[in-house]
């Protein structure tokens, strides 16, 4: 398989993700380090693996392992980008209240739109790509039409949204989460907070015309950008909570395997000897936002779940959206436990928490199994990324 840019059709299968990984690996060292910041049509200089990683059709651990085998040295920049994903998940998992506050902020911003027509008009223009800002409008339209943006463009877009257009950051983060096929609760929320100066206190990201022009090879040279980026007012960061330990299943008891869009490579459980009595999937794409989530996001996620079930030889297993439906299936199957890969903080984790309460009342335990990669890395996501990187990358 030859390397194909992200703009081609995104096929939501593990086989497609593996093919893209192996086609990209020869470029993961020198080429990537030198050219990764360029936002060019088709995005030829990045891996384009994020949609598959986001749903764990590919896992971070196997991408890291494959990269190190191909490049024992020289691929540190690419490896760091993969570790950022783990860092964000771990940081939010240790501070789930940040996700709750973000969700409250989104609702607060939507409430403002209902009573502030000027703000509503500015937000609509930004989301439609009708602000008149070169580059920004193109990225808004690219996002809504393709479900993807280059990482550098995401940073520029967020900075302009916050500091030039002076729109609520939560509304921009929600816009991304509704449209990005690789939209992840942790990476998306915390990246927007980082740009706004809410992650590393006082440290913001300022989009400049010179930087945009340089890294788009002159495609975009915006005018009128904010000359500064004062950090937004923030509450003190909460102290990290104790690291979640996950759970183990009882091999003597019948079990339902429940897969979710957060981890669609549950074969690691089978490799450990788990043999389910029944299989189902739980999905909550609509739960990513109080507004309508874009159809390409639904389509990719549905396809990814279907691929997972097919690999488990259970193509007809039900895909459910209500925890009560999962409990009914578990009761009908006569199982004593529901086993699922651990879902990090976000909409699916909230659904699983609801399921745990419902199932416990019926004497059925929910066992959320934590991967070794997460169990070993997440406890180190206590401060900034560079301290985390020194620990996990050495």
How far, in Å, CA of 100 to CA of 84, rounded?
21
Give the global pTM.
0.95
Tell me the three-class secondary structure of 251-271, residue by residue.
Answer: CCCCEEEEEECCECCCHHHHH
Buried/exposed 248-269: b ≥16 CB within 10 Å, e otherwise: ebeeeeebbbbbbbbbbbbebb
Residue by residue, pLDDT tens for the chain (394 residues) are 343 445 457 899 999 999 999 999 999 998 899 999 999 999 999 999 999 999 999 999 999 999 999 999 999 999 999 999 999 999 999 999 999 999 999 999 999 999 999 999 999 999 999 999 999 999 999 999 999 999 999 999 999 999 999 999 999 999 999 999 999 999 999 999 999 999 988 899 999 999 999 999 999 999 999 999 999 988 888 889 999 988 999 999 999 999 999 999 999 999 999 999 999 999 999 999 999 999 999 999 999 999 999 999 999 999 999 999 999 999 999 999 999 999 999 999 999 999 999 999 999 999 999 999 999 999 999 999 999 999 998 7
Q: How far apart are the first and last CA of the chain?
A: 32
On the question of a common fold for 14-94+378-393 and 255-369, the answer reads no
- Record: fold of 14-94+378-393: 1.25.40
DSSP output for 293-323: PPHHHHHHHHHHHHHHHHHTT-TT--EES-H
Tokens of 283: 């999905």
CATH architecture of 255-369: 3-Layer(aba) Sandwich (3.40)
- Record: fold of 97-215: DNA Cyclobutane Dipyrimidine Photolyase, subunit A; domain 3 (1.10.579)
Task: Spell out the domain ranges in the chain.
Answer: 14-94+378-393, 97-215, 255-369
Residues 6+ away with beta carbon under 8 Å from 286: 293, 321
């Amino acid at each position: 398989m030859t390397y194909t840019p992200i703009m081609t059709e995104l096929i939501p299968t593990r086989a497609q993700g593996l093919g893209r990984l192996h086609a990209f690996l020869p470029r993961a060292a020198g080429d990537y380090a030198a050219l990764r910041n360029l936002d060019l049509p088709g995005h030829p200089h990045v891996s384009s693996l994020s949609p598959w990683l986001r749903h764990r059709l590919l896992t971070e651990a196997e991408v890291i392992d494959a990269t190190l085998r191909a490049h024992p040295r020289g691929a540190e920049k690419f490896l760091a980008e993969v570790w950022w994903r783990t860092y964000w998940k771990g940081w939010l998992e240790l501070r789930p209240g940040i996700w709750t506050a973000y969700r409250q902020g989104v609702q607060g911003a939507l409430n403002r739109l209902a009573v502030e027509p000027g703000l509503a008009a500015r937000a609509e223009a930004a989301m439609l790509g009708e602000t008149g800002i070169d580059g920004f409008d193109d990225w808004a339209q690219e996002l809504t039409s393709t479900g993807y943006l280059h990482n550098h463009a995401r940073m520029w877009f967020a900075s302009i949204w916050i500091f030039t257009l002076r729109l609520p950051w939560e509304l921009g983060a929600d816009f991304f989460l509704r449209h990005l096929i690789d939209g992840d609760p942790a990476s998306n929320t915390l990246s927007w907070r980082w740009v706004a100066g809410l992650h590393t206190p006082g440290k913001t990201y300022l989009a400049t015309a010179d930087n945009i022009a340089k890294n788009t090879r002159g495609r975009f040279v915006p005018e009128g950008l904010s000359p500064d980026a004062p950090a937004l007012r923030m509450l003190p960061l909460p102290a990290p909570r104790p690291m979640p330990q996950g759970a183990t299943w009882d091999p003597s008891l019948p079990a339902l395997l429940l897969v979710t869009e957060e981890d669609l490579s549950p074969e690691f459980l089978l490799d450990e000897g788990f043999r389910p009595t029944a299989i189902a999937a739980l999905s909550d794409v609509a739960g990513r936002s109080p507004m309508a989530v874009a159809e390409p996001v639904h389509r990719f996620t549905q396809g990814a779940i279907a691929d997972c079930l097919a690999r488990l030889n259970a193509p007809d297993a039900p895909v459910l959206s209500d925890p009560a439906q999962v409990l009914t299936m578990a009761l009908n199957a006569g199982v004593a436990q529901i086993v699922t890969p651990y879902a990090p903080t976000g909409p699916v984790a909230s659904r699983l928490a609801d399921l745990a309460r419902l199932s416990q009342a019926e004497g059925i335990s929910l066992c959320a199994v934590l991967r070794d990669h997460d169990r070993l890395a997440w406890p180190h996501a206590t401060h900034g990324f560079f301290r985390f990187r020194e620990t996990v990358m050495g």
